[in-house]
Structure 1
Amino acid sequence: MQLPTLTGNGVNLSPFTQSDSLLVQSYAGDQMVAKTTQHVPHPYPDGVAEKWIAAHLTLYLEQRNITLAIRTLEGDLVGAINLGLKLNDQFAELGYWIAHKYWGQGYCTRASKRIIQYGFEELSLNKIYARHLGGNIASGKVMKKVGMTREGIQRQHTIKDGVLQDIVEYSILRSEYQLG
Structure 2
Amino acid sequence: MEMQTIVNQPVIETERFDLRPLRRSDLGLIEMYAGDARVAKNTTSIPHPLPPGTIEAFIARAMGETRDFDCWAMDGSKTGGDEVMGLITLSRLDRNQSEVGFWVAPAFWNTHLASDSVQALVDANPLKNDAMFATVFQDNPASAKVMTNAGFIYLGDAETYCLARDGAVPTWTYSRKL
Matching residue of 2:176: 172
Query: Could you tell me how far apart the structure 2 residues matched to 1:65 and 1:157 are?
Result: 19
Q: For residue 90 of structure 1, what is the amino acid of its counterpart?
A: N
Matching residue of 2:98: 92
Are residue 79 (structure 1) and residue 61 (structure 2) matched? no
Selected match of 1:126 from 115, 126, 130: 130
Are residue 102 (structure 1) and residue 108 (structure 2) matched? yes
Higher relative contact order (CA 8 A, sep 6+): 2
Query: Could you tell me how far apart the structure 2 residues matched to 1:97 and 1:163 are?
Result: 19
Describe the shift of the 1:124–1:102 C-alpha distance in structure 2 as closer, same or farther (beyond 3 A): same
Q: For residue 59 of structure 2, what is the amino acid of its counterpart?
A: I
Matching residue of 1:26: 32
Describe the shift of the 1:159–1:79 C-alpha distance in structure 2 as closer, same or farther (beyond 3 A): closer
* Identity rate, percent: 27
SS at match of 2:156: strand
Selected match of 1:147 from 128, 133, 151: 151
Q: CA deviation at 1:75?
A: 5.5
Two-structure CA RMSD over aligned residues (Å): 1.8
Q: For residue 80 of structure 1, what is the amino acid of its counterpart?
A: L
Query: Could you tell me how far apart the structure 2 residues matched to 1:63 and 1:30 are?
Result: 26
Selected match of 2:50 from 44, 59, 71: 44
Describe the shift of the 1:102–1:68 C-alpha distance in structure 2 as closer, same or farther (beyond 3 A): same
Selected match of 2:14 from 2, 8, 32: 8
Normalising by structure 1, what TM-score? 0.85
Q: CA deviation at 1:62?
A: 3.2
Q: CA deviation at 1:16?
A: 1.6
Query: Could you tell me how far apart the structure 2 residues matched to 1:162 and 1:47 are?
Result: 20
Describe the shift of the 1:138–1:7 C-alpha distance in structure 2 as closer, same or farther (beyond 3 A): same
Query: Any stretches of 5+ residues in structure 2 without a counterpart?
Result: none
Describe the shift of the 1:16–1:124 C-alpha distance in structure 2 as closer, same or farther (beyond 3 A): closer
- The one-character-per-residue Cα deviations of 1:151-170 (angstroms, maximum 9, x if unpaired) are 0001x443552443112101
Query: Could you tell me how far apart the structure 1 residues matched to 2:15 and 2:155 are?
Result: 26
Matching residue of 2:68: 64
Work out whether residues 73 and 85 of structure 2, in 8 Å CA contact, stay in contact via their aligned partners in 1.
yes
SS at match of 2:32: helix
